[in-house]
């Protein structure tokens, strides 16, 4: 097992002059990140935080949005 911090990031295309989602997904895949979901103008990517940061830093026309996870509170009444 590795102790790398896995992170999920949404990449959203902001400019028509940037790389296509297929080209961007290939670039991320070669770096070791996994594309979980792919649309024409967005990607959901999972991988090592440093890997994702180094690849997305050089992408023009794409913005990076880190995924946040929230836990649902337990709404059941406690008896006792």
What DSSP string describes 12-70? EE--TTS--HHHHHHHHHHHT-EEEEE-SSEEEEEEEHHHHHHHHHT-SSEEEEE----
> Which residue matches tokens 């992170």?
7
Tell me 76's DSSP state: S
Task: Compare 26 and 6 and report the one with higher pLDDT.
Answer: 26
> Are the CB atoms for 62 and 13 separated by under 8 Å?
yes
Dist. CA 33–CA 38, nearest whole Å: 13
pLDDT tens digits, 7-49: 899 999 998 888 999 999 999 999 999 999 999 899 999 998 8
* Residue 16: predicted pLDDT: 86
3: pLDDT strictly greater than 70: no
């Amino acid at each position: 097992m590795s102790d790398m911090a896995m992170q999920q990031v949404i990449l959203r295309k902001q400019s028509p002059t940037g790389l296509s989602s297929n080209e961007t997904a290939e670039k991320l895949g070669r770096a070791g990140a996994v594309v979980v979901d792919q649309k024409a103008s967005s990607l959901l990517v999972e991988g090592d935080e440093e890997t994702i940061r180094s690849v997305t830093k050089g992408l023009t026309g794409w913005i990076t949005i880190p995924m946040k996870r929230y836990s649902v509170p337990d709404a059941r009444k406690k008896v006792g």
